[in-house]
Homo-oligomer: A and B are copies of this chain.
Amino acid sequence: FQGENIERFRSDFLDYHLYDQAQIYLALSPEERITVYNYLSANEMADMFEIIEEDVESIEEYLLEMNNQYAADMLANMYADNAVDMLKQLKDERIWLYLRLMPTEAAKEIRALLSYEDETAGAIMTPEFVSIVANQTVRSAMAILKSKAPDAETIYYIYVVNVDNVLVGVISLRDLIVNDEDMMISDIMSERIVSVNVKEGQEDVAHKIRDYDFLAVPVVDENNVLLGIITVDDIIDVIDEEAVSDFSGLAGVDVEEQSENPFVAASKRLPWLITLLFLGMGTSTLISQYEGLISDASILSVFVTLITGTSGNAGTQSLAVAVRKIGMQDDEEKNLFRTILSELATGLISGLVTGITIALVIGVWKQNFILGGIIGISMLVAITVANLAGSLIPVLMDRLGFDPAVASGPFISTFSDLTSVLIYFNIAKHFITTLM
């Protein structure tokens, strides 16, 4: 910036890859960024923002730094799906402001995409695809492709539509290139099209692209009218977010937490910690009902954490398997009853093996097989219950339309603390006279 040599800066900066340009830009101070807005065109900024729209948290800050017309031009120059991702982070008045300042065509496209619900295919599709009619030669299709290439998000799949814009075929650029230029599109296009409905969930779209190894998938409405495409780069983000959300749920924390500031980090983690603390108070209240039992046989208190800990581990295992299974399956494949029955059986078997093991170990260690038996049976029941809860809770949450992964890990642990204690002390109560 020093010499304020615009030409020098432009040639150096624009020579970088877009991702590297973005990294440089993100490292600048607000004042320096203002200079960049003066040095680069709205179109060049659009190219750069295209690549970071999913990573940047403070889009609003950057947009507010820009002249409004410049920001609107930048958004209009982006692929509509990415512009929408950015706009969704803004307040409604801002969105309308930018849409007003944009060329009508771009504003119309963006407005259409904004109307789709979050998490659906419609919300991440882009209308910038290449479509052609079937009744032409490879040569003329290539000419169309050439003219549309600068604006299309991908030119590697070309979609074939009829006069009503209904999707009737697809052909890859690879097929166009290897075929003779005089061939007719209708003869070489594939009519077995894999498409997604505009209302379909993003995760289902992601699984389709992954399974079929596609670079993009067409999005259609109920009448098979082609509305847009979803490209593989957007799907990688969906898969990533899905993993982050499952992982965060299991740990009861947003694992993407960006700030290194411990106050910010603690303030994000504390709501869960405190909620669970109060749930944990339930377990303490329950234990306090058995204080008499404990002061009669204080040996019982030695094994509380062993039983709560082990059944918590078993419940977490069953939970993680269930969450993953739910995430991987399409709706029609879900067989709730079978999943739960199978987890129940797995819990019984694990509980039996663990219970017998601990009964023997404690029996020998404390020379007291009644104590061993109490703990072994408690372990068996507690593990079975935890396994069942671990699969039942995510399945129910999914059925009720919630994300099955939300903070389910710590919740299961805390829940299984409560049930384990209840099971343990009730079993112990029955044998207390024999034990002492």
Chain A positions near chain B (C-beta within 8 angstroms)? 15-19, 51, 142, 145-146, 149-150, 155-156, 173-174, 177-178, 192, 194, 209-213, 215, 232-233, 235-237, 239-240, 242-244, 246-248, 250-253, 255-257, 260, 262-263, 265-266, 269-270, 272-274, 276-277, 280-281, 283-284, 287-288, 291, 294-295, 298-299, 301-306, 308-310, 312-314, 316-317, 319-321, 323-324, 338, 342-343, 345-346, 348-350, 353-354, 357-358, 361, 383, 409-410, 413-414, 417, 421
Q: Which among B150, B276, B305, B342 is the interface contact of A265 at CB below 8 angstroms?
A: B342
Q: When A239-B240, A269-B314, A270-B354 are in contact, do A320 and B251 touch as well, CB less than 8 Å?
A: yes
Copies of this polypeptide in the complex: 2
Q: When A178-B146, A305-B284, A417-B305 are in contact, do A277 and B310 touch as well, CB less than 8 Å?
A: yes
Cα A239 to Cα B357 with chains together (Å): 38
Cα A401 to Cα B373 with chains together (Å): 42
Whether A213 contacts B233 by the Cβ 8 Å rule is: yes
Q: Which among B215, B257, B281 is the interface contact of A361 at CB below 8 angstroms?
A: B281
Cα A380 to Cα B21 with chains together (Å): 45
Chain B residue numbers with a CB within 8 Å of A294 are 294, 298, 301
In the complex, besides A142-B177, A277-B354, 19 extra interface pairs with C-beta distance below 8 angstroms are A51-B212, A149-B174, A155-B174, A239-B243, A243-B246, A251-B316, A266-B350, A266-B353, A269-B314, A270-B353, A273-B310, A276-B309, A276-B313, A277-B357, A283-B305, A283-B309, A284-B305, A309-B413, A313-B410
Whether A310 contacts B276 by the Cβ 8 Å rule is: yes
Cα A342 to Cα B417 with chains together (Å): 30
Most buried by B among A17, A194, A321: A321
Cα A295 to Cα B383 with chains together (Å): 28
Q: Could you jot down 6 A-B contacts, CB within 8 Å? A: A173-B173, A255-B323, A260-B342, A273-B313, A283-B306, A295-B298
Cα A252 to Cα B310 with chains together (Å): 12
Whether A260 contacts B178 by the Cβ 8 Å rule is: no
Chain B residue numbers with a CB within 8 Å of A323 are 255
CB proximity of A162 to chain B, nearest CB, Å: 21
CB proximity of A351 to chain B, nearest CB, Å: 9
Whether A320 contacts B280 by the Cβ 8 Å rule is: no
Cα A294 to Cα B297 with chains together (Å): 10
Whether A284 contacts B262 by the Cβ 8 Å rule is: no
CB proximity of A366 to chain B, nearest CB, Å: 9
CB proximity of A244 to chain B, nearest CB, Å: 7
Chain B residue numbers with a CB within 8 Å of A358 are 277
Chain B residue numbers with a CB within 8 Å of A284 are 302-303, 305-306
Whether A273 contacts B350 by the Cβ 8 Å rule is: yes
List the 6 closest pairs (A to B, CB-CB), nearest first.
A243-B243, A251-B320, A262-B345, A253-B317, A266-B349, A301-B301
CB proximity of A386 to chain B, nearest CB, Å: 11
Cα A303 to Cα B421 with chains together (Å): 12
CB proximity of A420 to chain B, nearest CB, Å: 9
Cα A276 to Cα B299 with chains together (Å): 21
CB proximity of A212 to chain B, nearest CB, Å: 5
Cα A265 to Cα B351 with chains together (Å): 13
Cα A239 to Cα B242 with chains together (Å): 11
Chain B residue numbers with a CB within 8 Å of A301 are 287, 291, 294, 298, 301, 304
Most buried by B among A211, A246, A284, A410: A284
Cα A113 to Cα B266 with chains together (Å): 47
Q: Which among B15, B145, B317, B357 is the interface contact of A274 at CB below 8 angstroms?
A: B357
Cα A312 to Cα B51 with chains together (Å): 38
Cα A265 to Cα B361 with chains together (Å): 24
Chain B residue numbers with a CB within 8 Å of A305 are 280, 283-284, 287, 304-305, 308, 417, 421
Chain B residue numbers with a CB within 8 Å of A178 are 146, 149-150
Chain B residue numbers with a CB within 8 Å of A343 are 262
Q: When A211-B19, A316-B252 are in contact, do A306 and B324 touch as well, CB less than 8 Å?
A: no
Q: Which among B194, B252, B274, B283 is the interface contact of A17 at CB below 8 angstroms?
A: B194
